[in-house]
Amino acid sequence: METLEESELCFPQLLNTSCKKPTRPHSEAMVILLSSISLLTVALNLLVIISISHYRQLHTPTNLFLLSLAVSDFLVGLLMPTEILFIEACWFLGDFMCALHYLVFFIITSASVGNMVLISVDRYVAICDPLCYPTKITQGRVKICVCLCWVCSVFCSCVILNDNLREPGRYNSCVGECVVVINYIAGAVDLVFNFIVPITVIIVLYMGVFVVAVSQARAMRSHIVAVTLQPSVTVTAKKSEMKAARTLGIVIAVFLMCFCPYYCLFLAGEDTSITTPSAAFVISLYYCNSCLNPVIYAFFYPWFRKSIKLIVTLQILQPDSCEANIL
């Protein structure tokens, strides 16, 4: 007859080395939260992937960056349910799969950040040097940049998780646990390449875009008002300035909101596993970035809203729908 102690173990046959099954009072709320984020992330990014992949008019260099971002964020949402395993159950997939699980998550989240940087570079060139944009941002160069982004993400993630990959399970205290520990050197690499450098580049480039957009709007306003004496032009230019400022603020605020708490925990030396309620909330915010990216970078495009309508109404299944006028 199985004892009470055995029934609470991950592996009842291993009385001395098995972990106890987790019992957390806030697990139900966390499961609902992570499941909701996961479903929404998968759905929104899948719509972006289908739209850009299907319609020929959307096969542009800029949209290739958006497609790469959507793929990385879609994978985040697809693999997010594995985090629920840490809340409700023991880890039964073995030490190697534990290390691989973390590696895949590090790769796709790092690639997501890299793609956001590439999009900021693309928009900077488009606004600040529009005449040279077609020659600087070509399909071939975009594909190379996207490939390099993913390769760098793989390399950086392998460096960060080097100890855990060489000896999977080395930090586990018992059988049925999945623990990955990042030392200070690897953590510093993660902090610099996945937070400090990206946010610095994004802020600098978008500030450049904002300054140029505002100066162009003011120059156009001054010229047209001087020629036509139409007050409505002033209102239109001011709206353009406000829109540029709002876009800049949203991009930076969302990035900081999602990533700052995670790296603040690291700098404070706190446990960033999902086993603690505060860390679980921080991890949820970290994953929220992949859910918000399609809203920030794609939803406000008219072509995306139109493509969603065509997808939902199943018009995408009609013959030659890929040739539809989506712009």
Tell whether 50 is covered by a domain.
yes
Tell whether 1 is covered by a domain.
no
Tell whether 265 is covered by a domain.
no
Tell whether 102 is covered by a domain.
yes
Low-confidence ranges of the chain (pLDDT < 50): 1-6, 25, 229, 232-235, 237, 274
* 234's tokens: 């002033």
pLDDT for the residue numbered 270: 53
* 148's tokens: 């390099």
pLDDT for the residue numbered 315: 82
- Give the CA distances from residue 154 to residues 35, 182, 277, in Å, rounded to whole numbers and listed in that order: 26, 16, 29
Tell whether 101 is covered by a domain.
yes
Tell whether 211 is covered by a domain.
no
Torsion of Cα atoms, 312 then 55 then 131 then 66, to 10°: 60
**Environment class of 102 (CB within 10 Å of its CB; exposed 0-12, middle 13-18, buried 19+):** buried
DSSP code string of 165-186: HHSTTTT-SSBT-------HHH
CB 161 within 8 A of CB 102: yes
pLDDT for the residue numbered 4: 43
CATH code for the domain in which residue 56 is found: 1.20.1070.10
For residue 193, give the DSSP letter: I
Tell whether 64 is covered by a domain.
yes
Distance, CA of 72 to CA of 14 (rounded, Å): 39
Q: pLDDT averaged over the chain?
A: 79
Which residue from 51, 74, 129 is spatially nearest to 312, judged by alpha carbons?
51
Tally of domains in the chain: 1
pLDDT for the residue numbered 238: 52
- Host domain of residue 91: 27-182+270-323
User: Cβ neighbours of residue 163 under 8 Å, at least 6 residues apart?
Assistant: 170, 181, 183, 186
Tell whether 210 is covered by a domain.
no
For residue 9, give the DSSP letter: B
Beta strands in 71-117 (DSSP E): none
